[in-house]
Amino acid sequence: MNASNVASKWSSWTPQLSSLLRIVAAFVFITAGSTKMFAFPAGIPPAGGTVPVMSQLWIGALLEVVGGALVLVGLFTRPVAFVLAGEMAVAYFQFHHPTSFWPTINQGVPAVLYCFLFLYLSAAGAGPWSLDTLRERGRPRP
């Protein structure tokens, strides 16, 4: 098997790997919200608690848990991912950027990566392993 055949076979997995990226990223994203809302799998430092209910951080955590769950299963992926990209942009500029311009210094790398990952998903869609795809298959075509 030559290099072009290997590259061709590997690139044929693009749709499935897009779905896998969405699933793994959403699962990890949910834990960011569940940490803030439920202190699971751990509470927020330093005391290990949760954020105050109805605070801005709590609303962000709610978006992370509910939006992350919808992205995880691939339901309404495009609009939900767009909202989550906006949430991460706000999180970066409000909480990280004032400390420093550089994401590695201001600990904003996850916010930047999630922002652009969700922006990508809002354009690309959920991929073949999703409830969005199942919904599309069940729709009558005009």
Distance CA 108, CA 70 (A): 24
Helices of type H across the chain: 3-11, 14-38, 56-62, 68-73, 77-91, 103-106, 109-124, 131-138
Phi, psi (5° rounding) for residue 44? -80, 140
Q: Find, among 114, 121, 80, 82, the residue nearest to 96 by Cα.
A: 114
Distance CA 96, CA 8 (A): 41
Q: Find, among 81, 63, 109, 89, the residue nearest to 23 by Cα.
A: 81
What pLDDT sits at residue 139?
A: 79
pLDDT digits (tens, 9 = 90+) for 40-92: 999 998 889 999 999 999 999 999 999 999 999 999 999 999 999 999 999 99
What pLDDT sits at residue 8?
A: 87
CA distances from 34 to 55, 60, 68, 77, 89 (A): 15, 11, 10, 20, 20
Indicate the pTM of the whole model: 0.92
Residue 105 CB neighbour total at 10 angstroms: 11
3-class secondary structure per residue, 86-99:
HHHHHHHHHHHCCC
What pLDDT sits at residue 117?
A: 98
pLDDT digits (tens, 9 = 90+) for 108-120: 999 999 999 999 9
